[in-house]
Amino acid sequence: MKHHVVFLDRDSVKAEIRSLNFKHTYEEYSKTSFNQIVPRLQQATIAIINKVQLNDEMLVKLPKLKMVAVAATGYDCADIAACKIHGVEVANIRNYAVRTVPEHVFMMILSLRRNLIAYRQDIENGVWQKSDQFCLFTHDICDLYGATIGIVGNGAIGQATAAIARGFGMRVIFSSYKSLSEDNVESVPFKVLLARSDIVSLHCPMTPDTRDMIGINELRIMKRNALLINTARGGLVNENALLQALDEGLIAGAGFDVLTTEPPESSHPLLNVNRPNFILTPHVAWTSVGSMQLLAEQLINNIEEWVAGNPQNLVT
């Protein structure tokens, strides 16, 4: 069988992608709008997608499609139940961002715990220059040593985040939207983690169970001096609730790399949070040069192994 491979959003992966090692035809598009998905996949047996959506209504119209290679770890872009019904197998990327995402997490944590942005603003506003002593005490600086980080999700990225935390002398606890049974971690119920943690970092997928897993009630459980870090999926946290929590001082601050809608509308409320205790980055925690090249290599491996009859990284 000669496969026809179509990559619908090539610009979403900034890396060299090598040629597949089997007979095939190939098309790629820099990006694909919703109305272009079905026409562009009409002859495809293998689709490569990152954030392009595939749902049941589309799959009905794509009888030739047999495999979807997701160029990301998160696979909520594809309706997995519908794929199973239509005999389409889905593979995703595993463990490629285990260095870059945890490093991004700690960039945010350190910036917030040490009030980096606030002190930078003081310098820009001339506060240090007008000081009558050599240093400023305008904002508290908190060490990481001895603090508790609660990690929601015990996968490779969650574990890598824990390893860095232990290097700082932090106490690590885990929780999950599912039960944890590993012997080498301290796991607690989700609400206990929220109440005990100085920092909460999210590392779990977007599913119906995890959508809005942190709302205003969960934010009220957290310590008033706690930080909330989300480098996983925007929909894990109710964004209106987060804004309320920041306004009311329910938590000390937050660092987000993701939003529910990406790219966001210019009117998105979190884009206008001009305060030193909130950091928003544009979904770039995963995008180091090294991690994206690892992703590209695994993406091709997933397709080649599936064609060879040895599928790997299938979503079940």
Please give the positions annotated as active site. 233, 262, 283
Cis peptide before 263 (omega within 30 of 0): yes
Question: Rounded to whole angstroms, what are the CA distances from 22 to 2, 25, 41, 68, 313?
Answer: 8, 10, 19, 17, 19
80: left (phi over 0), alpha (psi -120 to 50) or beta: alpha
Which residue type does 234 have?
Answer: G
Residue 4, burial from CB neighbour count under 10 angstroms (0-12, 13-18, 19+): middle
Question: Rounded to whole angstroms, what are the CA distances from 300 to 246, 291, 297, 309?
Answer: 43, 15, 5, 14
Question: What is the distance of C-alpha 229 from the center of its chain?
Answer: 11
